[in-house]
Amino acid sequence: MSEINLGVTCDMHVHLREGEMCDLVTPTIREGGISVAYIMPNLQPPITTLDRVIAYKQRLQELAPQTTFLMSFYLSKELSADLIHQAASVGAVQGVKCYPAGVTTNSAAGVDPNDFSSFYPVFQAMEEEGLVLNLHGEKPSVAGESKDIHVLNAEESFLPALRKLHSDFPQLKIILEHCTSEAAINLINELNKDIANVQDIKVAATITAHHLFLTVDDWAGNPVNFCKPVAKLPSDRRALVSAATSGKPYFFFGSDSAPHPISNKARHINVCAGVYTQSLALPYVAQIFETQNALDKLKTFVSDSGLQFYGVKTQDLKSTEEAVIFKKDQIVPDCLSDGKGTNVVPFLTGEKLNWSVKWCPQSS
């Protein structure tokens, strides 16, 4: 295959920031071959009000008129069941993102993952409204107590909390975001083992582009590849690749593209966590699918399954153009820059990718 139509594509985990970085990266959603983007709310301060999410979406829409933006709230004590119902009634958000406090960029206002009970009224309202709970599934690190938790088992340590949330809210749509471990893949498979219809899927997982490539060796000494959750062992990477290319509808694409200025990456301490993949999202993913002879499953991963889970309707799309990838080499640039001092280093900088992206009018 030298050309593949992937339809209306979606990336269900996108960080766009604010200000100059936002201006720089928002248009690259479309450059990377993505039509529908689910936007994360971890700004400073995080998005917890209707006014702010509406204003943010409006700004993004100005920057990228053809991109369809799905929006989210940041789970915190400022949210209430009433706000959830109000936001749902006007279609302002499609979900709520839960950050454990302190585990990644701008998560200081997050929640204690050992006790979600104070948020149960919010979760109940979300369940009623069909909103999605997006989980950053990591426990904070701790050593020397009954069980050590560190960056390598932080996700696996979180899985019992996911299991409990699903058990307590069996109709709540939950996504384990940017999952990185074989243990997580196994749990998502297990929770879906009796699901007969895609409409009945309640627990899904997103998988990033970069975690399909990376293991711990790749971020040891390479801040560009450092992200949270960290990339783990070769066996974990294989499980992710296997899940992404499986065609199973509860694994779909969420890039977690998370741009940081190069000055926050090229420093000797306190490197910011996050990999920027937006501008080449589809070529990265296609590269892996090609190695697995699974290009026939690519549309399921980057389009059908995500749109299905979120219930995205055609009438809500800003554009019905379809993303087509075609066989044409490109070298990942050194840097993406606005020429005025804002810049970000893309994933796999300097390396060759086999696929490029173009847009075509809706085929059917």
Please say which residue, 82 or 148, places its beta carbon nearer to a copy of itself: 148
Q: Give 133's contacts (C-beta < 8 A, 6+ positions apart).
A: 75, 95, 96, 98, 123, 126, 165, 172, 173, 174, 175
Q: How far is the CB of 223 from a copy of itself (least distance, A)?
A: 5
Among 265, 283, 305, 309, binds a copy of itself (CB under 8 A): 265
CA distance 77 to 307: 29
Q: How far is the CB of 153 from a copy of itself (least distance, A)?
A: 9
Among positions 76-135, residues that touch a copy of itself (CB under 8 A) are none
Q: How far is the CB of 170 from a copy of itself (least distance, A)?
A: 35
Q: How far is the CB of 267 from a copy of itself (least distance, A)?
A: 5
Please say which residue, 215 or 257, places its beta carbon nearer to a copy of itself: 215
Reduced to 3 states (helix: H, G, I; strand: E, B; else coil), residue 203 is strand
Please say which residue, 200 or 217, places its beta carbon nearer to a copy of itself: 217
Among positions 222-241, residues that touch a copy of itself (CB under 8 A) are 222-224, 226, 230, 233-235, 237-238
Integer CA distances (angstroms), 332 to 13, 32, 68, 336, 337, in order = 21, 12, 26, 10, 13
Find, among 129, 126, 188, 200, the residue nearest to 162 by Cα: 188
Please say which residue, 150 or 352, places its beta carbon nearer to a copy of itself: 150
Residue 341 CB coordination number (10 Å): 9
Please say which residue, 160 or 234, places its beta carbon nearer to a copy of itself: 234
CA distance 277 to 183: 25
Q: What are phi and psi of 81, to 5 degrees?
A: -60, -40
Among positions 150-169, residues that touch a copy of itself (CB under 8 A) are 150-152
Q: Is 291 in the site for a copy of itself (CB under 8 A)?
A: no
Q: How far is the CB of 178 from a copy of itself (least distance, A)?
A: 16
Residue 145 CB coordination number (10 Å): 7
Q: Give 84's contacts (C-beta < 8 A, 6+ positions apart).
A: 73, 96, 122, 125, 126, 129, 131
Residues in the site for a copy of itself, rule: CB under 8 A?
Answer: 141, 143-144, 148, 150-152, 215-217, 219-224, 226, 230, 233-235, 237-238, 262, 265-273, 345, 349
